[in-house]
């Protein structure tokens, strides 16, 4: 299936969960990343269970603390 990950179209197999996608995408500091699925927040309790469907769009929003 085709999904959009942080703005880029990617091919993943059906049934993948958000947690599996986080692993596959090598997301840095996964405990501290905010995830949206089709522009809605995914709660941390849903990360293991939420299944991604064809055409879904996922964003990983990272903490950026610098400014100095």
Q: Per-residue contact track with another protein, 1 to 30, x per CB under 8 A?
A: -----xx---------------------x-
**By CB under 8 A, is residue 62 in contact with another protein?**
yes
Least Cβ distance, residue 14 to another protein (angstroms): 25
Least Cβ distance, residue 2 to another protein (angstroms): 18
Longest CA–CA span in the chain (Å) reads: 43
Site size toward another protein (CB under 8 A) is: 19
Between CA 49 and CA 68 the distance in angstroms is 38
Positions 29 through 58 that interact with another protein (CB under 8 A): 29, 31-32, 34, 36, 39-41
DSSP helix/strand/coil, 44: helix
Q: Which residue has the tokens 């995914």?
A: 42
Query: Residue 49: how many CB atoms within 10 A of its CB?
Result: 10
């Amino acid at each position: 299936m085709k999904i959009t990950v942080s703005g880029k179209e990617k091919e993943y197999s059906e049934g993948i969960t958000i947690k599996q996608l986080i692993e596959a995408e090598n997301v840095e500091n996964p405990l501290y990343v905010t995830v949206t699925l089709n522009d809605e927040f995914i709660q941390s309790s849903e990360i293991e269970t939420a299944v991604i469907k064809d055409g879904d769009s996922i964003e990983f929003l990272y903490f950026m603390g610098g400014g100095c």
